[in-house]
A and B are shown apart, each in its own frame.
Chain A
């Protein structure tokens, strides 16, 4: 009897928690499928209306911005490029940095690591003007390169990879050496496959980080052609249903990435154990 009570009690708590998180999102989605005059007169809706196609298509293809140059579709494209670029580049640099820190036994490896680590304490906002000035001098303002590169060195990812590499037994390296693997081969044939799970986790993490950037893209792009989704959320004008539709769509890419990669992530975790 008590067991039934505790299990239903925990289910109730879970249900309340899920409701608190899901209901607002659902209401925005449901409302985004009505006409705006209906929303203005009847308030937010819980049930789906019949203007889904009309609203979403209009939002995707509407020429927005001050100069009417940018569509939501283009913003999604920009955000996707930026997030993927940041994720790929930061995973790559962190992998390499951690490899060097752990396997090249330089005298100052620990010091260098902590030097990288303290950059966590320096937020992007603090170094944003010098970074902008560098990008401007290199003529990289208004380019994907300028959007991606300055935020693509991740101390946290370096920390994770470093800690992981330190758990890899030395015998593995020695055995690989005797099997004729050079430094590069050991990295490609051993460390990369062994850290696959972590690579995917870091990729998700950095993808969402890149996708959510607001201040940096705002600063480094003046051309509307480079606007990202998160910038678009602020810049969007139009009726309330169109804004709702845009908000809904802006959630799709990160959620999709997590859903797709989570499968591999879980598979990786179970295979290694």
Chain B
């Protein structure tokens, strides 16, 4: 039995909206799990059900071998970092950290010890006497994490905690969260809509769409082997190119080109997915791209253009190549790295 177990968990709101559909999931002790998906997909609801802030309509959640469906949030021994940090504005940083411990009836010396340890770990020892309003965004973020750490909970829950920070700080805090989690070793669930955040943080990733876990796996598994059109489109930046096509007798025909001997017995309308980074320039390649725009990122160039039938297409090449606007490129798919999805169901077929 794993550490956190969700069995057929369903959430239906009183107005009839079904936010989470019969979701089952196991998380091991010490694991860093990330829920990623577009906004409104039910990922936060799922997290809040684990925290006990939302009632569970159906199904069971058990933590450390104990069913917690009916357990009050304060008794669950979970700690949560909120999107807006939810620091206590009228308490100084020390009391923000100490509040949860005080409520558990821990004696003063132990509280002081724990708060000081956590403050040291997060480098906020200098601000202990300040009020949250006197801190910067990154410092507030640290305090919010400190509040979770001092309690030494069974599980950390992060609800999009980085979305209020500016881009640079977000990358820095992302790194710190990952380091911290490895250091402390507490089981964590992190909710985000940012796929880069998800990829970099996760031990395992759950891609959620419309209240259903579309795919569960390590970031690389999901990147290399997306099982559905949604996952393929959501993970990876820039987004995977999708082209309409048709398979007949192991031959895929798309706009202007054919791929023979594909690894699929499927026949019918499909969508072909090709990642921008899985292409290379050759003579007489499969795909002809008329370049509209080049985004030079330094290390890479993102080349945007159109195929024969005006379909938008993106190609990623190393930054040292010069590509002229308006030129025609001939591209091949590297190592047969393409993905074929059933057009009607969105399921992967190769």
Which A residues contact B (CB, under 8 angstroms)?
Answer: 169, 171-172, 174-182, 185, 189-190, 193-194, 271-273
Judge whether A172 and B88 touch: CB under 8 Å. yes
Tally of chain B residues near chain A (CB < 8 A): 25
Judge whether A179 and B84 touch: CB under 8 Å. no
Judge whether A179 and B82 touch: CB under 8 Å. no
Q: Which secondary structure dominates where chain A touches chain B?
A: helix
Judge whether A181 and B86 touch: CB under 8 Å. no
Choice from A171, A174, A179, A182 contacting B99 with Cβ under 8 Å: A179
Instruction: Name A196's closest neighbour in chain B (CB-CB).
Output: B90
Choice from B74, B131, B133 contacting A180 with Cβ under 8 Å: B74
Instruction: Name B99's closest neighbour in chain A (CB-CB).
Output: A179
How far is the CB of A212 from the nearest CB of chain B, in Å? 33
Q: Which secondary structure dominates where chain B touches chain A?
A: loop
Judge whether A178 and B103 touch: CB under 8 Å. no
B78 at the interface (CB under 8 A from A): yes
B67 at the interface (CB under 8 A from A): no
Judge whether A178 and B73 touch: CB under 8 Å. yes
How far is the CB of A219 from the nearest CB of chain B, in Å? 43
Q: Which residues of B contact A178 (CB under 8 A)?
A: 51-53, 73-74, 76, 78-80, 100
Task: List 16 additional A-B contacts (Cβ < 8 Å) besides A179-B74, A181-B103.
Answer: A171-B82, A171-B86, A174-B80, A174-B86, A175-B88, A177-B73, A178-B73, A178-B79, A178-B100, A179-B100, A180-B100, A180-B104, A181-B74, A181-B99, A190-B88, A194-B90
Q: Which residues of B contact A174 (CB under 8 A)?
A: 51, 53, 73, 80, 82, 86
B147 at the interface (CB under 8 A from A): yes
From known contacts A180-B74, A181-B74, A182-B74, infer whether A175 and B103 are also in contact, taking CB-CB under 8 Å: no
User: Can you list 8 pairs linking A and B with CB atoms under 8 Å apart?
Assistant: A176-B99, A177-B52, A177-B72, A177-B74, A180-B103, A182-B74, A189-B99, A272-B89
Report the Cα distance A273→B78, complex, angstroms: 31
Q: Which residues of A contact B76 (CB under 8 A)?
A: 178
Q: Which residues of A contact B89 (CB under 8 A)?
A: 194, 272
Choice from A169, A179, A193 contacting B147 with Cβ under 8 Å: A179
Report the Cα distance A174→B99, complex, angstroms: 14
Which B residues contact A (CB, under 8 angstroms)?
Answer: 51-53, 72-74, 76, 78-80, 82-84, 86, 88-90, 99-100, 103-104, 131, 133, 147, 151
Report the Cα distance A172→B132, complex, angstroms: 13
How far is the CB of B246 from the nearest CB of chain A, in Å? 50
From known contacts A182-B74, A185-B103, A189-B99, infer whether A177 and B86 are also in contact, taking CB-CB under 8 Å: no
How far is the CB of A264 from the nearest CB of chain B, in Å? 14
How far is the CB of A267 from the nearest CB of chain B, in Å? 13
Q: Which 7 A-B pairs have the closest CB atoms?
A: A179-B100, A180-B103, A171-B86, A175-B86, A180-B74, A193-B90, A171-B82
How far is the CB of A133 from the nearest CB of chain B, in Å? 45
Report the Cα distance A176→B74, complex, angstroms: 9
Q: Which residues of A contact B147 (CB under 8 A)?
A: 175, 179
Instruction: Name B82's closest neighbour in chain A (CB-CB).
Output: A171
Report the Cα distance A194→B51, complex, angstroms: 25
Q: Which residues of B contact A172 (CB under 8 A)?
A: 86, 88
Instruction: Name B90's closest neighbour in chain A (CB-CB).
Output: A193
Q: Which residues of A contact B131 (CB under 8 A)?
A: 271
Instruction: Name A272's closest neighbour in chain B (CB-CB).
Output: B89
Instruction: Name B48's closest neighbour in chain A (CB-CB).
Output: A174
Q: Which residues of B contact A190 (CB under 8 A)?
A: 88, 90
Report the Cα distance A182→B72, complex, angstroms: 10
Among A169, A175, A193, A271, which residue has the most Cβ atoms of chain B within 10 A?
A175
